[in-house]
Amino acid sequence: MTRFRGILLGTLGIVLLGVLWEGYKAIGPSNGVVLNGLTVLPRTNDLAMPHLATMFTRLFEPVTSAAGSPALWSAVTQAAGFSLSVAAVGWLIGVVVGMLLAVLMQRFRTAESALLPWVVLSQTVPLIALAPLVAGIGSQVRFGEARWQDWMSVALIASYLAFFPVSVGALRGLESPDREHVELMRTYAVGWWKTLLTLRLPASIPYLLPALRLAAANAVIGTVVAEVSIGLRGGVGRMMIEYASAASGDPGKPWAPIFGAVVIGLLAAALVAAIGLALRKYRRGEVPA
């Protein structure tokens, strides 16, 4: 029953968004609302805000008129699948690195003082400076016969954004058990490892799950932006810059990869939600978000 309601409300939200879009397009002035020379509300003409129907019918037309060109939706689906898998690699690396850092910082107070500022600082490096650097260094890396692939650079950048919430969230979680619980463990003469496994890790779950969700969102954003930045072929990021040139003559086309990115985000969120469902028994005290 509640699940049904959730789906219903979700669908309603999407419909509402569509109604808002078309509604504003219908009543808004075609040149937007301009106050003191500043555009405060966007233009409503067909170039700036194409009709939803334009965007959706475009999805079922071929990408180009070349023979054998696939339908736009299938090209976007393929690209979204590629971006999602690269983001998943980035997410996994980010989660592993973030967890390891959190455990290290929980174990050694010195590590926490030494690492935490750098963890925070790492997120202030702009992506556009980082991406070409990673791609450049990566292209000189060889593992024996195997060469560094461009998609690895993108996954690495995604993991760079993904590890941050995990390390901060997990650290907070690992430190969350009450003092008496920790001291109880100590009176039992239980070592640090066992305390970690039986007390700290389970207690960290309520903090970890939102962090995993943030990490998933960050990994997806990191993937798309890094694709744009280094021009990796195959994903939706690259597709966005490719289709931008059609913005005026074929206004429905550039929206397709944006829909693709939205779908990736939803799938990533669903995956994390499934993990949360599996860990339900540890989610005591978590404020439902």
16 binds other proteins (CB under 8 A): no
116 binds other proteins (CB under 8 A): no
Q: What is the 3-state secondary structure (H, E, C) of the chain?
A: CHHHHHHHHHHHHHHHHHHHHHHHHHHCCCCCEEECCEEEECCCCCCCCCCHHHHHHHHCCECCCCCCCCEHHHHHHHHHHHHHHHHHHHHHHHHHHHHHHHHHHHHCHHHHHHHHHHHHHHCCCCHHHHHHHHHHHHCCCEECCEECCHHHHHHHHHHHHHHHHHHHHHHHHHCCCCHHHHHHHHHCCCCHHHHHHHHHHHHHHHHHHHHHHHHHHHHHHHHHHHHHHHCCCCCHHHHHHHHHHHCCCCCCCCHHHHHHHHHHHHHHHHHHHHHHHHCHHHCCCCCCC
Pick the closer one to other proteins by CB: 115 or 247. Answer: 247
84 binds other proteins (CB under 8 A): yes
18 binds other proteins (CB under 8 A): no
Nearest distance in Å: CB 236, other proteins: 12
Nearest distance in Å: CB 232, other proteins: 7
Out of 40, 140, 144, 189, name the contact with other proteins by CB under 8 A.
Answer: 140
239 binds other proteins (CB under 8 A): yes
Pick the closer one to other proteins by CB: 19 or 125. Answer: 125
224 binds other proteins (CB under 8 A): no
Out of 217, 232, 236, 261, name the contact with other proteins by CB under 8 A.
Answer: 232
33 binds other proteins (CB under 8 A): no
155 binds other proteins (CB under 8 A): yes
Nearest distance in Å: CB 200, other proteins: 19
Q: Which residues bind other proteins (CB under 8 A)?
A: 43, 45-48, 63-66, 75, 82, 84-86, 88-89, 91-92, 128, 131-132, 135-136, 139-140, 145-147, 149, 151, 155, 227-233, 238-239, 241-250, 253, 271, 274-275, 277-281
